[in-house]
Amino acid sequence: MEVTNKLVKGGEFIIKPTDAHDVFTPADFSEEQNMMHQTALDFVEKEVQPLLERLDNHEEGLMRELMEKAGQLGLFGVSIPEEYGGLNMDFPTSLRVTEGVGGGHSFPVAFAAHTGIAMLPILYFGTEEQKQKYLPGLTSGELMGAYCLTEPGSGSDALGAKTKAVLTEDGEHYVLNGQKMWITNGGFADVFVVFAKIDGEQFTGFIVEKNTPGLSLGNEEHKMGIKGSSTRQVFLSDVKVPKSAILGEIGKGHLIAFNILNIGRIKLAAACLGASKMAATLSVRYANERVQFKLPISKFGAIKYKLAEQAIRIYAVESAIYRASMDIARMEQELLSKGQSHNEALLGAAREFAVECAILKVEGSEVLDYVVDEGVQVYGGYGFSADYPMDRAYRDSRINRIFEGTNEINRMLAVDMILKKGLKGELDLMGPAQAVQQELMAIPDFNTDEDNSLFAAELRTIAKLKKAILMVAGTAVQKYMNSLAKEQEVLMNIADMAIKVYTAESTILRVQKEAGVKGEEAVAQQIDIARVYLSDTVDHVNKFGKEAIASMTEGDEQRLLALGLKRFTKADLYNAKDARRRIADVLIQANEYAF
């Protein structure tokens, strides 16, 4: 399929429509990109899945052995430049590989920690000497990495860290003292990216090697899920490192931490996507095999609803993930063309789309939670048995709503970043918001648009839902001004509206684009998916909008806004029951997730 190179701004989806031709979809991946994805899938199926029980029991050296094999296959080096032993492939390919390993339970946690938050700080912020020293080994799998940010007293408040670094009298070394917690890969890492405050004030990154005197590890944590991943505390007791171990600039450690998190968030969404597809396939296969009342339970409407809804949410979030992935890649190319380095360009592109990264982290992890929860329900009593795969899938999914920033933090961040873009003039929020206010006072437009092409009506609905977001967000800004940050419930209402609208629009545009190539009949069930998801999105926007309006306003103002919300969330009824049955029938026939 033809893919345009139209640049968009991060967060711009709220105020502007997007053309389907400008959206990247999974159908646009090249043969080479799909081969990389298949390599990751095959690795998980053949190497990881047979060892899940042994991994969960922390068999000594087993996770490291698997990680080394993944490195030898080239999976660690997808986005690493060739001069450091990598393949130098683009950002969408990196996400595609991350999706491929996503069904490996504890393995993708170790994989993501190594290839993301451990390697990327060195790639993007390291000196050339640091890159030459560490990246080839980290890329090949000879070395393993870990990222030490969280402390017992600082989780979401990362900058509240207590770990200190003090310059020695000779001015040649720093001495680190402190404690880090929940460190993934801690038990087998060779290289630790550690954050500390120089003299208790300047938040700074350091590279610390495993054998440095004074660095010690706690025992493996006993976790609810992802039991096979190594999670330990890291203790720093008079750990002496040379000045050359400083990563990035002194006092600028927050730039490393937060910029890397942007990339980590969308990668987490991709991993959750892979896990969701695996769990959906397990659900379909069990439903086809399990017989009750002399019929496979997949024949019953209640089960069809669950199978279809799993697929709908997976397809929708997949559409949004890969839409954003190419938006980031295009921005990276734009920044490269303006003379920025490879590292500066990708960081800048991810920073530009930090809103979308936060949105996708939330939606990806919550889709996975839904899929595994309904998977347990499809399995019934066997879903509650540790002898069946849904037990592990259910437990392993839960952490994704917590790490890379809790979903609550990411919701509030997404709205905060959009509003800041407006204040800085990076997004024209004021004009569209004022237009919405004027529309509230005008006679309603009863829409005489004669366009009956595929999704014309649905895209008009999306445009109205965006007006609902602007109306509620604009009211919140006017009402609370500088104290809006304290109104967390309202921020999360606005975020939930934006998350659903971005995902719904991405789904519609993906199907519209594919219908233009294959014809509507060939994507009939994808059309069903898009319409069911949009129908639910309308209800979500109405619900979250009402909650926010009721909490912020009263009297005539409340009545006016409620009428506006009703107008903006008005849509024709859609027979979702029959659509879900059609979607489920495709899955049941294929005996797997099939979209």
Mention every residue, 6+ apart, whose C-beta is less than 8 A from residue 591: 284, 285, 288
Whole-angstrom distance, CA of residue 41 vs CA of residue 591: 18
Question: 10 Å Cβ neighbour count for 223?
Answer: 17
DSSP state of 482: G
Q: Measure CA 397 to chain center.
A: 13
79 close to 72: Cβ distance less than 8 angstroms? no
Q: Which two tokens stand for residue 128?
A: 């050339």
Going by C-alpha positions, the residue among 418, 310, 307 that lies closest to residue 357 is 418
Task: Supply φ then ψ for residue 515, to 5 degrees.
Answer: -65, -35
**What is the three-class DSSP state of 145?**
strand
Whole-angstrom distance, CA of residue 546 vs CA of residue 542: 6
Whole-angstrom distance, CA of residue 137 vs CA of residue 335: 29
Quickly tell me which residue has 């993708």 as its tokens.
108
- Angstrom CA distances, 474 to 91, 433, 494, 552, stand at 34, 6, 10, 11
What's the length of the chain? Answer: 595
Going by C-alpha positions, the residue among 336, 360, 318, 258 that lies closest to residue 7 is 336
Quickly tell me which residue has 């040379």 as its tokens.
242
288 dihedral zone (left: phi>0; alpha: psi -120 to 50; beta): alpha
DSSP per-residue string spanning 222-285: --SS-TTS-EEEEEEEEEEEEGGGEESSTT-HHHHHHHHHHHHHHHHHHHHHHHHHHHHHHHHH
Told to judge if 404 belongs to the known catalytic residues of this protein, a careful annotator would answer yes
Whole-angstrom distance, CA of residue 537 vs CA of residue 549: 18
Going by C-alpha positions, the residue among 373, 415, 355 that lies closest to residue 544 is 415
329 close to 290: Cβ distance less than 8 angstroms? no
Task: Supply φ then ψ for residue 394, to 5 degrees.
Answer: -65, -45
User: Which member of 151, 352, 366, 404 is catalytic?
Assistant: 404
Question: Which residues are catalytic, by number?
Answer: 404
